[in-house]
Structure 1
């Protein structure tokens, strides 16, 4: 398996993990009647990295240059999420070593 596909799989895993966590927070917020505007803003902020992980994974599969650099940037921020984020961030740094080629469209 190529390194860009391994990095894409890690981003998809991180995206699904973040989506599950965001949905659990949403369920908790609704069930405890804490539906204030701050909780809605918090959920929007939590959903942003989820979207970015899926977007970067899609770019990595297509071997886009921007996705490689976005993956490295996201890996840097993931290092702060000890212990799972740190491990996934290290693997993303390892798998960021691949030569990009723009996808040929016909």
Structure 2
């Protein structure tokens, strides 16, 4: 499997992970307490993370250089999320470090 596909699949999985976290928070906390307004800032943050990973995944699938650059920035930020984010960040960096055109 080439590096583009690996990065695409990782971003796509992260996007849906954030979507599931938002749905789960709404279902568990919102239905239990009825505090939907208090959940709004967290849901908006999760929506932003979903959109970031979703559109980066789409750019990576199309082989755009902007997708590769966005993946590098995202992976550098994920390095701060010890330990799981660090592992994902290292994986993304290892697949985006070299130009995709040279690898193809």
Rounded Cα–Cα distance in structure 1 between residues aligned with 2:49 and 2:28? 20
Instruction: Note the residue ranges of structure 1 that are not aligned, 5 or more in a row.
Output: 102-106
Runs of 4+ in 1 over 6 A off after TM superposition: none
Q: 1:52 & 1:6 partners in 2: Cα distance?
A: 17
Consecutive unaligned residues of structure 2, counting only runs of 5 or more, are: none
Question: Which residue in 2 is equivalent to 1:104?
Answer: none
- For the Cα contact (< 8 Å) 1:3–1:97, is it kept in 2? no
Give the TM-score, by structure 2 length.
0.85
Q: CA deviation at 1:84?
A: 2.1
- Aligned pairs, number: 100
The range that moved more, 78-87 or 67-76, is 78-87
Q: Which has the higher helix share?
A: 2
